[in-house]
A and B are shown apart, each in its own frame.
Chain A
């Protein structure tokens, strides 16, 4: 009776341990630190090699495409970051001047950013167009 219980407990622990092992190793591989441009500047070379995620506004007319590589500038208040996108997925359709974009990748030793993933948020067109429009219940 007791032996049977131990056998079941052992089996369950083995399964959970395996899952935990995969989770931890996958976590090390997949984690990325979210940084603002300000933090990135302050940290400097300390973050070289770390996987990073950075958000900002795509600077006006900074997007240049050469084949599958796209370069552009990300803006956050007064700071700017030169980004080179080298990922295999195409740039999302929502990506264009003035939208908020999130890039994931590494800081290069020269301070520029090499991104292999990119997300762009839809700008809220509505507010831009109607300015002071607000809603109210009937």
Chain B
């Protein structure tokens, strides 16, 4: 099985190299049959990588500990589901998994665009193949998951195969359903940007820099952006329910690495609209998508090279060098192309006024890039300061929060204002008409916050901006629905549906914006977190905020994989019983690691978050830590609404679908009437 896996990687690499050559050469020489053959090779590469992934899965499911990877990341008693998930639980497996997704995207891109004429598609697939070849080289030579475990019996003796009785086990922190799907989603996101990136490079190479490549890349970008966003959200959810420190985002280097391409991707999704509508910001778009993919690779480099210290501890390895070389070569090539093609990237039009939709898009881009840069700076600062000053200085959460909270609120403001502004210039009279009610609503909420005793300036600002944006979005839907209802006689809900269905981009976008509002409301809840702890024996009580706890029992627990301690707590809110909670501390025997089993009581208003922190001095008392986290649920709800809105924008419009159907019918008719 391991030999099959190894062979598959070798063959995949060979075919990727062939595809690379055939696609570029065929397109440059104008030989259609050669590019066709290159396209077919793209499918073959995907087939062989699939075979390699299947081989590794079989080895994992069979618990074949003669393979180092299996011995490292699995053990006998591991649940079957997690045995499979160990596929992306470690360095080598996750890189193979990455290649698999990459070649999968390549195959889909080849299939979807197989009838598209011209050089753009072959060049695009050529760039995809180049990236595939790079990852397959890593799979083959630097991080091969099929390596066998051998024992060094001392100098002069041969290395002997070695099969341990049991494996080290999957990190217990990773044994959680959210963690099982978080990495694949993140990879689908990261890797997904390879297709728009390749379209962009291909457009630069062929000098075909109209909005053609942007139209072809749009759905790809949205899909990648969706996966990346959901992946980040699930990562936060996992951290929240599994790590037990009461939060979901810690500005850890690896979290930052996933956020950065998301930020530039968001900027790209907005600025392409300007190019399509007004033929402006061409350079921006090219730079943004190139940066997005480079950041995705850079993030991988950062986490795999061991250059930054992070909770996402991948072993320090030479793999970083591969990524560094790839980044420098690809980045250099991209910069070269942008510089030499800059003449094709000029736009004839200029901004007319700050009170225009273009200007709001420009600000959106500027601020998202600023956020990305700030995050990048904070993430790599320890390295830079060490290089420049010889002193390692790290920056923590206060830095990231200080800068990103105002940026987030400014973005929220733009979310409300931007879509309502007219292209080119909005007159003062129409501004007054559009913004009277939203501004009034924002003011009412602001006053209510002050009267209601909210002392945090940012929290009050956040709630009032949330009101502003919500009112603008609701009124947009309402106006469109009502207009449709009047002209067609449909009932209001039906009219709302049709309006959305025939203009999914616009109204799907509004749904995403509304999700963002909810997300920010969830973030704002952090301003009101309460925390406390109790040191208890059976029968003892303690109070945190409006909650009080009584310890009913502390028991020992057991399972084939772990042993643990569990507290039973009776919980009251304002004196009324809420039920019992069972926070637990476990010790996993295979990996010799402790985990906290957090217990969370969720409501729309607040989460009650209870952690068994450990036993106090002399093992006499259980230490229980408690957080009251207001509004956290809205983070997850907001994220889901954003995902839903994105799916709506990805789906084709009703009109497009109808046109497509008519076109196909016409094709069939033409075929039928063809002279024999």
Contact = CB atoms under 8 A, between A and B. Distances in A.
Contacts of A90: 244-245, 596, 611, 613-614, 625
Given A27-B395, A138-B2, A34 B531 contact: no
B246 A89 contact: yes
| Chain A interface main SS type | mixed
Contacts of B672: none
B152 A30 contact: no
A107 interface: no
A59 B148 CA distance: 35
A40 interface: no
A53 interface: yes
Interface residues of A, number: 52
Nearest to A128: B592
Interface stretch (B400-408, B511-519, B654-662): B400-408
A11 B339 CA distance: 27
A15 interface: yes
B144 interface: yes
A125 B159 contact: no
Contacts of B407: 19, 22
Interface stretch (B46-54, B119-127, B182-190, B386-394): B386-394
A91 B144 CA distance: 35
Interface string B542-580: 000000000000000000000000000000000000000
A98 to B, nearest CB: 11
Contacts of B150: 133-136
Contacts of A19: 367, 370, 374, 403, 407
Interface string A107-138: 00000000001010110111001101111111
Contacts of B153: 132
A43 B301 CA distance: 35
Nearest to B595: A93
Contacts of B614: 65, 90-91
Contact of B147 (A27, A64, A135): A135
Contacts of B2: 138
B384 interface: no
6 closest Cβ pairs, A-B complex: A26-B402, A30-B399, A34-B392, A30-B398, A26-B399, A132-B152
Nearest to A16: B370
Interface of B: 2-3, 6, 68, 72, 144, 146-154, 159, 162, 164, 168, 171, 173, 243-247, 309, 311, 313, 315, 351-352, 354, 359, 363, 366-367, 370, 374, 377-378, 382, 391-403, 406-407, 531, 533, 535, 591-596, 611, 613-617, 623, 625
A133 B352 CA distance: 68
Nearest to B250: A89
Contacts of A134: 150-152, 159
A7 interface: yes
A102 to B, nearest CB: 7
Interface string A27-57: 1011111100000000000000000010000
B396 A117 contact: yes
B531 A88 contact: yes
A25 interface: yes
Contacts of A102: 309
B351 A93 contact: no
Given A16-B370, A19-B367, A53-B394, 15 more contacts: A11-B354, A22-B406, A23-B374, A26-B402, A32-B396, A34-B393, A67-B533, A67-B616, A90-B625, A119-B309, A122-B313, A122-B593, A126-B168, A138-B3, A138-B148
Nearest to A65: B616
A33 B151 contact: no
B149 A135 contact: yes
Contacts of A18: 406
A75 interface: no
B158 to A, nearest CB: 11
Given A90-B596, A94-B593, A12 B366 contact: yes
A30 B402 contact: yes
Contacts of A26: 395, 398-403
B231 to A, nearest CB: 22
A135 B68 contact: yes
Nearest to A12: B366
A77 interface: no
28 contacts: A4-B352, A8-B354, A11-B363, A15-B363, A15-B367, A19-B367, A30-B398, A31-B393, A31-B399, A32-B395, A33-B393, A34-B382, A34-B391, A34-B392, A65-B616, A90-B611, A93-B173, A96-B594, A102-B309, A124-B315, A125-B591, A130-B151, A130-B162, A132-B154, A133-B150, A136-B147, A136-B148, A138-B3
